[in-house]
């Protein structure tokens, strides 16, 4: 079960707390400038770096009971590079070294009768947090939502750091994910 939250406005774009420092935190002053981070769509030449970041992501996540073993790379390569494209990925580099990645797919909302871009994953290694890498990857995904004509960008994140379920009023079950919904970001727009 998921709960859907809409941010109040541009100033309230909630990202998981471990990725960005709180507003006013002195860590912001220590972060490297945005011009030192390069974010690009993943190319075939970067597939090995993407897979390495995926492995690191998996190693940093707490074990999830009932998850299946990972599939092969072939399906990922087909989704990213063969028409019709079914997935998009971005890799961030700081000083030429991989510093994080984001991965998205397109979904369709029957209620809104429109496509949306689903941010499946946004990962920055724990050793590189907090940093501006996460916000740069996030902006790239929002721009792709706009470029694809999607109504919005949606991102499901686990409830709480420990994945504790959140009780929903009037339901016997509990939510384990929250879905955030963000407006697309035009290619010529800064947030």
Q: pLDDT digits over 32-53, tens only? A: 444 588 999 999 999 889 999 9
Please tell me the predicted confidence (pLDDT) of residue 172. 55
pTM of the model: 0.71
DSSP 33-47: PGGGEEEEE--GGGH
Q: What per-residue confidence (pLDDT) applies to 156? A: 83
- Give every residue of the chain whose pLDDT is below 50, as ranges: 1-14, 17, 30, 32-34, 161-163
Which residues are CB-neighbours of 90 under 8 A, at least 6 positions away? 39, 40, 41, 42, 101, 102, 137, 140, 141
In angstroms, the CA 36 to CA 23 distance is 21
pLDDT for 2 equals: 44
pLDDT of residue 191: 56
Please give the mean pLDDT across all residues of the chain. Answer: 77
């Amino acid at each position: 079960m998921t709960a859907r939250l809409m941010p109040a406005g541009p100033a309230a774009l909630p990202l998981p707390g471990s990725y960005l420092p709180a507003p006013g935190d002195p860590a912001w002053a220590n972060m490297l400038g945005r011009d030192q981070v390069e974010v690009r769509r993943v190319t075939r030449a970067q597939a090995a770096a993407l897979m390495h970041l995926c492995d690191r992501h998996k190693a940093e996540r707490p074990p999830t009971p009932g998850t299946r073993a990972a599939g092969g790379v072939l399906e990922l390569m087909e989704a990213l590079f063969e028409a019709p494209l079914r997935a998009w990925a971005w890799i961030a580099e700081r000083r030429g070294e991989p510093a994080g990645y984001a991965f998205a797919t397109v979904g369709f909302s029957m209620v809104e009768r429109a496509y949306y871009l689903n941010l499946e994953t946004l990962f920055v290694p724990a050793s590189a947090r907090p940093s501006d890498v996460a916000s740069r990857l996030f902006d790239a995904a929002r721009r792709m939502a706009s470029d694809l004509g999607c109504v919005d960008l949606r991102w499901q994140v686990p409830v709480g750091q420990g994945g504790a379920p959140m009780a929903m009023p009037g339901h016997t079950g509990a939510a384990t994910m929250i879905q955030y919904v963000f407006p697309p970001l035009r290619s010529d727009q800064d947030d």
